Structure 1
Amino acid sequence: MKVVNSNKPTRLLKKLGLATLLPTLLATAAQPALAESVREYRSHQLLDNQLVIETSDSQVTLTPVNPSALEVHYQRDGIKQLPSFARADQLKRDVSAQLRVSQDALQYALGDLTAVIHKSPFAIEYLRDGKPLLSEEHGFFANQTMRGFRFTLSDNEKLIGGGQRVLGMDRRGHRLPLYNRAHYGYTTESDQMYFGLPAVMSSNKYILLFDNSATGAMDLGASEANVLQFEAQAGRTSYIVVAGETYPQLIENYVNVTGRQPMPPRWALGNFASRFGYRTEQEVRDVVEKFREEDFPLDALVLDLYWFGPDIKGHMGNLAWDKNAFPTPVDMMADLRARGIETILVTEPFVLSTSERWSDAVASNALAKNLAGNPKQFEFYFGNTGLIDVFSEDGRDWIWEIYKDLKEQGVSGWWGDLGEPEVHPADTVHAIGMADEIHNAYGHRWAQMLFENEKADSPEQRPFIMMRAGFPGSQRYGMIPWTGDVAREWGGLQPQVELSLQMGLLGFGYTHSDLGGFAGGEKFDRELYIRWLQYGVFQPVYRPHAQEHIAPEPVFHDRKTRNITREFVKLRYQLLPYNYTLAFENSQTGMPLMRPLFFENENDLALMDNKDAYLWGNDFLVAPVTAEDVDEVAVQLPGGIWFDYWNDNQYGGDLAKIDVDLETIPVLVRAGAFIPTVSGLNNTRDYSSANLRLDYYAHESAPRSSGYIYEDDGITADAYTKGQYEKLTFAGERTESGIAFRFDHEGNGYTGAPQARSIELVLHNVAQPVAVQQGEQTLALVRKESALAENTAWYNKRAKTLHVKFNWSEKSQSLTVIN
């Protein structure tokens, strides 16, 4: 007779730190794989403004998040629940919800959003301003192998979402894996990539978020035409529904739930030197000097994995300088910073068993476990490895001490690579669950650890955290994602607008690509390279990066390539006041820096499919050139009048056919827009608006228009909240006699702010004026551009532009151009 030790499972779970899960595991294992029965209402109660409903098979808790957002959490006995990763911690619970009870239903009204809970069969329907928005089909389902939710889709509804995929803007009709996974060398098709999001934005103006970090899938009407289904192997059984009257308002309501992205340091908007990778300290110094010699502005230098090892394999986890290649890293970084250049280091969550830190990681209990309770080891491309358990306090503490030491040496920013994690065996045990339960939240928790420790260690500074994978809400930890190891070919460039738009609409406004492409490429393709770097001016982060057999940096290419790309890199710096204001807007409302054209005409569903053009902020419309040998680009217009940024040609209607050469891509400016620029920057540290140019695009279709720029010192965390900022506002109004302008200041100022500003106002598309008045003073009209000085104006007859130069020293200033 064989004796079975019934205590063995309990001892094993205690060793793994998971003893409390035993009742749940046993209950789950006992569940039969049966179809769901019809759910019925039993009772309800209000607890702290939450509506708690008992049904025949589960408890349902409806939690108001804001007047347009509701969390719905189904809980059933025997089903383990994980914490919410998507929801911001600082939620306000002051929403005044109203409950009405009838024989057949409960109506739970938050303000803009109302949940109608039907009692038999139990189902929840959502209304916005009293009109149908979304409804559960079956709603919650669960058995021992799967859990999730089912919703009903309307016939003409379009669905954006799912995060990084290359499928087209409307993802309806697709079944999408929910498992963050590397797709090396992708081009024009991919349904599974580095950074998936279990969320969708509907053309019916709602966002639906499945707050579940486990391996699963999102079926957007693929299996059943009018059913949206979220499913997962494990994890939290809750979803969040958000409504909005407009798409921008919808995004703002959504980031109120998941968290706003804090402003990055201003240098994050400058030019990066980056490759795979700089191998020595001398090479770093030589590259920086080459940028200076070739007159390319530079703000940051990124060091890939050679900083801690002489070759690719065998060193991951060392996370300490290879002193043979980098003998004086502290001096090197200090010298770079003296030139206004910040240092960013790559780090990975893997610690090889051959690395110098393996024994310390094991002794510190920093690594995820195997089922026997020992550090989990597995084979990886880089060697035999373990994985840091960022879900455990020991793991977070261990890796932060390494980061802190590097930061004290002079490192300014962090690059978290391979954080899907790229290899994550299913039998890996983490502090709060198994690998497949928390896989999609790994990068999220890594970023949270970095952000919270940075804020505690240096509360006045803004951290820089670039990562390849995360979860809804990761943006609140300052995460800056990129689109992974894209192929260095035209097919790699073509999906980049789609990828950034999709991510930006769900909170990740800084999603960007490796400019020039990363993977492969047999020889240098000048046209492809130039086109990619031209597009980069109008994407969130300007970072050429690639495998080193073809240089990613423009300074190492031929003269023609250097001359063209130099002008675009400098344009990036000239637009810094505009771009920095976009970063400010994102921090306040969640509005992405890259915005889809359908924001301009929310009733035109055809615009929602456009993945080739986009709005850069409010006032630019950009259509990157993504094919070779192109001399004309057809650009879909969202309505209104637009000016060609390069030559002032005007376009209206539904389509603009724009001539291009190798030195231009289609960039249009909205009629009535103010475009602020500065010149002469070597890096963002030199930024000042003491000499500010404002280009105003006059047109009768825009009788009134306004704009502003936001400024602070570029460093201080929460500068706006602290009042350490200035807003420079400007407005123009067409009158019978001309155009009247007004300029105003807001804010308490900041360290380094100009006491006065010299403004060059450039009016496009105007006739020669009779006079220009600044307040009561009439400005002199000069005949030559070279004679333009303070308090004078010059009219360019050929270009039909009026240049007005004046001093802005008072809080408010007025200027009138008289026809």
Structure 2
Amino acid sequence: MNINHDKQVSQQHAGVVERWEKIDNRFYFYGPQTVLEVKVVSDTVLRFRFSALGNFSRDFSYSHAHTYQESIEKLEISEEEEYFSIKTAKIDCEIQKERMLIKILDKKGLVISEDEKGFHWEEHKKYGGEIVFNTRKGQASEHFYGLGDKSADNDIREKRFENWGKDTYAYGKDTDPLYKNIPFFIGLHHKVAYGIFFDNTFRTYFDFGFERKNATSFWADGGEMNYYFIYGPELLNVVETYTNMTGKPELPPLWALGFHQCKWSYYPEKQVREITSEFRTRRIPCDAFYLDIDYMDGFRCFTWHPEHFSNPKGMISDLEKQGFKTVVIIDPGIKIDPNYRIYKEGLEKGYFCKRMDGPLMKGAVWPGECNFPDFTRAEVREWWAGLFDELMDTGVRGVWNDMNEPAVFEIETFPDDVRHDYDGDPCSHRKAHNVYGMQMARATYEGVKKFGHNRRPFVITRSGYSGLQKYSSAWTGDNVASWEHLSIANSQCQRLNVSGVSYCGSDIGGFIGSPSGELFVRWIQLGIFHMFCRVHSSGDHGDQEPWSFGLEVELLTKKFIELRYQLLPYIYTTFYQHVKTGVPTLRPLPFVAQEDSETYNRQDEFCMGDNLLVCPILAEKVDGRWVYLPEGKWYYYWDDKVHEGNQEVWAEAALDRIPLFVKAGAVIPMAPIMQYVGEFDPEQLFLHVYASAEEHTSYLYEDKGDGYEYTQGESSYKTFVTASEKKSYTITQRIDGTYDPVYKSYEIMVHGLSFTPKSCEVDGEKVHMDVINPDKNLIRFDAGKAFAKIVIKG
């Protein structure tokens, strides 16, 4: 919808406030026919609901944000001559009596967000109801981030976007809309950050100064003007709050953070066994192996092809013994076949979506003509979850939901008149489209968890709405084997992370087309730093197993997949921090260096967790690149050279390297290389300590890696503090929790001491110390896994 706000003569605006009232932490401001509800959710979060007709619909959202409530330290309201002022401990909100325009300020008086036209609406002539708008003033030098998987630059100012989940095969830079519908963005100006979550599931639009550079807008084709304002002032604070509002995931099984191999399609069973055997023979680590649609009988969900996979339980059991977890695809389309049990059940119970005048929604997808379950109906979700009983009984460990925008051949998606239950609030597809994929993932998650034998579920989805992270990981869809798409994947995963979806990745190597060996290696180098790490390709364009490109590429691919497995303790810790607090696992540079305006337009660099900075190589035939480092000192991972921050540095990175930096002072836990998670019980865990003149704190989270004992306290969270004095360096460890890991000791490597080390004491006892590189003061020694204090003296 190409709306020009300046030319809308039919738009209506909120009238003058005639009266107001307060009910608990909610304030109501009434005009001649409009009403504004302001709910103080916390000292930093305000919710605004506008009604053009003076009454509100049921307060319900699949994001679950409407149930979020935090403690409020301070809440006051005063009435001035021209406005009302609501004050919390962190922000002030002014509501103008004329047109209910809203202004939000921090306690220093800085205007963070201010309405220009504010809430306005116009009648939807075609469907009825209102098209609802909010137009705000653009602030000086404002930057914008978020909105999920948009394939645009990280900073989306002067851009316009649409949320209407779409199967966008071979999308490109700035293609819009894409698969996911996350109506949440973050603004940054004057080094102060805020967020806006527009919780509306209709087709929504966002304009960040595209139409007029001094105005930003968001609007929807129906529903309510219902949005949350989230005050930072830190960018990471905004993301953490939003993620807590819409739901944090549970910990995935540790194997799901390993390397995954997928293709459309691996079949029959003979090929599956051949490919998995090659991984083990070539000693290339891999934990998950995927079966695409060809494992099914005629693409019928929850079935197995009788010839391709005559004994799936036996095959999956054999793969499990070799360390492979089997993940299978499940799409929403249920083939119309009177001899197909799933179809007959859905038909008899009335679980399929209907058109407005009564017939079932029918559309062609992979099985041919299909009907589609209404996942917005609780009873249907429960039925769908129950269908996973037999599938999980075969030994399947994860499920991959595809085509759930929903995608339909020839007509793209469901027509607008398709009806949905919407959990007791019947509606058309116009309202349910953007949540359909997430509700399918939700039902899948519930089934995988229920029949997973007390193991943590693993689900992956292509489509979703705000809150999808509660149920599923995600990937970025049908990308292309090109250097441009490598860059797009880097931006998309950063953007998804700051939109609440940390468990994400791209199809490494590109789904469409065949990458060169060089591109494949560079993509692997990036992919190992995404929480979801999977190679996936369309088989008709050529193979993308690590050995498909020749020996040099195979060995380089193996090297970086091995690095992924070495870093799993650090990656798992980073994911735990996300689960615990909502902090994203990947952090674009502005989100770690907000005070440094040089970072605001940086595209490529990002931090993974607290202590690693990554900058992929995004061009062919280059052997390095310039990288911007935030404040502090940074070690180049490959040679231990120390660089000062607040500047660009040149990173040598031939094909056997990716620019990777470690924050000075960090303790990086690393595991021995395994072919799969749990292959053997290690004797030691490796701690790499990067010396710094400044005190620094690092963490290590540990549990069994699967199951739910961690929720009963069987976990440990270790805090390492490093500190330097003139001729000594100390490392202390505090252990919280009861989990006792299987390894017996640490092997500790200390990099870059500022003095020549002469002795090392662990809890007061002198231990043997090897000097690995005297020029760089690189030393190695062993310590018990429960040590309290290490002192290295010069």
Taking structure 1 as the reference length, the TM-score comes to 0.89
**2:765 aligned residue:** 777
Please give the alpha-carbon distance, in whole angstroms, between the structure 2 residues aligned to 1:660 and 1:592: 27
Q: Cα gap change, 1:605/1:196 in structure 2, threshold over 3 Å: closer, same or farther? A: farther
**2:335 aligned residue:** 352
Please give the alpha-carbon distance, in whole angstroms, between the structure 2 residues aligned to 1:323 and 1:651: 60
**1:292 aligned residue:** 280
After superposition, residues 416-431 of structure 1 pair within 5 angstroms as 416-422=401-407, 423-431=413-421
* AA partner of residue 446 (structure 1): M
**1:692 aligned residue:** 685
2:315 is the alignment partner of 1:332? yes
2:700 is the alignment partner of 1:709? yes
> How many corresponding residue pairs?
762
Displacement, 1:257? 1.5
* AA partner of residue 70 (structure 1): L
2:33 is the alignment partner of 1:41? no
Q: Cα gap change, 1:454/1:74 in structure 2, threshold over 3 Å: closer, same or farther? A: farther
**1:579 aligned residue:** 571
2:730 is the alignment partner of 1:740? yes
Q: Which of 277, 280, 301 lines up with 2:289 in the alignment?
A: 301
Residue deviations 1:470-529, cap 9 Å, x none?
Answer: 11122122x2111111101112111111111111111011221111111123xx511111
Q: Which of 72, 87, 98 lines up with 1:95 in the alignment?
A: 72
Q: Which of 646, 652, 655 lines up with 1:659 in the alignment?
A: 652
Please give the alpha-carbon distance, in whole angstroms, between the structure 1 residues aligned to 2:280 and 2:450: 36
Q: Which of 35, 39, 63 lines up with 1:59 in the alignment?
A: 35
Please give the alpha-carbon distance, in whole angstroms, between the structure 2 residues aligned to 1:395 and 1:320: 19
* AA partner of residue 134 (structure 1): S
**CA contact under 8 A between 1:768 and 1:795: conserved in structure 2?**
no
Please give the alpha-carbon distance, in whole angstroms, between the structure 2 residues aligned to 1:342 and 1:588: 26
Please give the alpha-carbon distance, in whole angstroms, between the structure 1 residues aligned to 2:116 and 2:294: 53
Q: Which of 404, 410, 415 lines up with 2:400 in the alignment?
A: 415
Displacement, 1:573? 0.5
After superposition, residues 477-488 of structure 1 pair within 5 angstroms as 477=471, 479-488=472-481
**CA contact under 8 A between 2:392 and 2:451: conserved in structure 1?**
no
Please give the alpha-carbon distance, in whole angstroms, between the structure 1 residues aligned to 2:470 and 2:65: 8
**CA contact under 8 A between 2:103 and 2:114: conserved in structure 1?**
yes
Displacement, 1:795? 4.2
Among all aligned residue pairs of Structure 1 and Structure 2, give the percentage whose two residues are the same amino acid: 25
Q: Which of 541, 555, 559 lines up with 2:532 in the alignment?
A: 541
Q: Cα gap change, 1:808/1:575 in structure 2, threshold over 3 Å: closer, same or farther? A: same
**CA contact under 8 A between 1:127 and 1:134: conserved in structure 2?**
yes
Residue deviations 1:277-300, cap 9 Å, x none?
Answer: 112122222221111101012211
**CA contact under 8 A between 2:285 and 2:561: conserved in structure 1?**
yes
Residue 298 of structure 1 aligns to a residue in which SS?
A: coil
Residue 715 of structure 1 aligns to a residue in which SS?
A: coil
**1:70 aligned residue:** 46
**1:281 aligned residue:** 269
Please give the alpha-carbon distance, in whole angstroms, between the structure 1 residues aligned to 2:549 and 2:107: 58
Q: Any stretches of 5+ residues in structure 1 without a counterpart?
A: 1-31, 310-314, 781-791
Please give the alpha-carbon distance, in whole angstroms, between the structure 2 residues aligned to 1:688 and 1:40: 70
Residue 397 of structure 1 aligns to a residue in which SS?
A: helix
Please give the alpha-carbon distance, in whole angstroms, between the structure 1 residues aligned to 2:725 and 2:683: 30
**CA contact under 8 A between 1:354 and 1:384: conserved in structure 2?**
no
Displacement, 1:261? 2.3
Q: Cα gap change, 1:557/1:364 in structure 2, threshold over 3 Å: closer, same or farther? A: farther
**1:136 aligned residue:** 115
Residue deviations 1:200-219, cap 9 Å, x none?
Answer: 10014111011011113112
Residue 163 of structure 1 aligns to a residue in which SS?
A: coil
**1:802 aligned residue:** 779
Displacement, 1:756? 3.7
Q: Cα gap change, 1:528/1:621 in structure 2, threshold over 3 Å: closer, same or farther? A: same
Q: Cα gap change, 1:687/1:573 in structure 2, threshold over 3 Å: closer, same or farther? A: farther
Q: Which of 84, 94, 108 lines up with 1:106 in the alignment?
A: 84
Residue 371 of structure 2 aligns to a residue in which SS?
A: strand
Q: Cα gap change, 1:103/1:657 in structure 2, threshold over 3 Å: closer, same or farther? A: closer
* AA partner of residue 535 (structure 2): P
Please give the alpha-carbon distance, in whole angstroms, between the structure 2 residues aligned to 1:632 and 1:94: 50
* AA partner of residue 789 (structure 2): S
**2:176 aligned residue:** 191
**1:567 aligned residue:** 559
Q: Which of 196, 199, 224 lines up with 1:211 in the alignment?
A: 199
**1:14 aligned residue:** none
**1:680 aligned residue:** 673
Please give the alpha-carbon distance, in whole angstroms, between the structure 2 residues aligned to 1:156 and 1:604: 14
Please give the alpha-carbon distance, in whole angstroms, between the structure 2 residues aligned to 1:651 and 1:711: 31
* AA partner of residue 328 (structure 2): L
Residue deviations 1:636-666, cap 9 Å, x none?
Answer: 2223222111111222251111222111111
Please give the alpha-carbon distance, in whole angstroms, between the structure 2 residues aligned to 1:137 and 1:317: 53
Please give the alpha-carbon distance, in whole angstroms, between the structure 1 residues aligned to 2:430 and 2:59: 12
Please give the alpha-carbon distance, in whole angstroms, between the structure 2 residues aligned to 1:446 and 1:184: 21
Residue deviations 1:601-656, cap 9 Å, x none?
Answer: 21333412111111121211111111110022111222322211111122225111
Please give the alpha-carbon distance, in whole angstroms, between the structure 2 residues aligned to 1:53 and 1:637: 48
2:632 is the alignment partner of 1:640? yes
**1:85 aligned residue:** 62
**CA contact under 8 A between 1:518 and 1:546: conserved in structure 2?**
yes
**CA contact under 8 A between 2:486 and 2:523: conserved in structure 1?**
yes
Displacement, 1:253? 1.8
Q: Cα gap change, 1:541/1:93 in structure 2, threshold over 3 Å: closer, same or farther? A: closer
2:105 is the alignment partner of 1:127? yes
**CA contact under 8 A between 1:316 and 1:350: conserved in structure 2?**
no
Q: Cα gap change, 1:306/1:755 in structure 2, threshold over 3 Å: closer, same or farther? A: closer
Q: Deviating runs (4+, > 6 A) in structure 1?
A: none
Select between 171-180 and 51-60 the one with higher mean Cα deviation.
51-60
**1:157 aligned residue:** 142
**2:127 aligned residue:** none
Displacement, 1:556? 3.9
Please give the alpha-carbon distance, in whole angstroms, between the structure 2 residues aligned to 1:569 and 1:93: 42
Please give the alpha-carbon distance, in whole angstroms, between the structure 1 residues aligned to 2:63 and 2:578: 18
Displacement, 1:354? 4.9
Please give the alpha-carbon distance, in whole angstroms, between the structure 2 residues aligned to 1:475 and 1:192: 20
Please give the alpha-carbon distance, in whole angstroms, between the structure 1 residues aligned to 2:30 and 2:352: 40
Q: Which of 733, 749, 752 lines up with 1:761 in the alignment?
A: 749
Residue 579 of structure 1 aligns to a residue in which SS?
A: helix
Residue deviations 1:304-347, cap 9 Å, x none?
Answer: 101114xxxxx444431112111111122222222332111111
Please give the alpha-carbon distance, in whole angstroms, between the structure 1 residues aligned to 2:215 and 2:350: 45
Please give the alpha-carbon distance, in whole angstroms, between the structure 1 residues aligned to 2:391 and 2:728: 59
Q: Which of 501, 505, 525 lines up with 2:516 in the alignment?
A: 525
Residue 123 of structure 2 aligns to a residue in which SS?
A: coil
After superposition, residues 169-184 of structure 1 pair within 5 angstroms as 169-184=154-169
Q: Which of 329, 342, 361 lines up with 2:346 in the alignment?
A: 361
* AA partner of residue 211 (structure 2): S
Q: Cα gap change, 1:56/1:137 in structure 2, threshold over 3 Å: closer, same or farther? A: farther
Displacement, 1:555? 3.8
**CA contact under 8 A between 1:208 and 1:241: conserved in structure 2?**
yes
After superposition, residues 10-25 of structure 1 pair within 5 angstroms as none
Q: Which of 220, 238, 242 lines up with 1:254 in the alignment?
A: 242
Displacement, 1:41? 0.9
Please give the alpha-carbon distance, in whole angstroms, between the structure 2 residues aligned to 1:275 and 1:636: 36
Residue deviations 1:133-189, cap 9 Å, x none?
Answer: 112223222332112322222121111122222221111111211211122123433
Displacement, 1:583? 0.5
Please give the alpha-carbon distance, in whole angstroms, between the structure 2 residues aligned to 1:553 and 1:743: 41
**CA contact under 8 A between 1:488 and 1:520: conserved in structure 2?**
yes
Please give the alpha-carbon distance, in whole angstroms, between the structure 2 residues aligned to 1:161 and 1:273: 29
**CA contact under 8 A between 1:167 and 1:191: conserved in structure 2?**
no
**1:4 aligned residue:** none
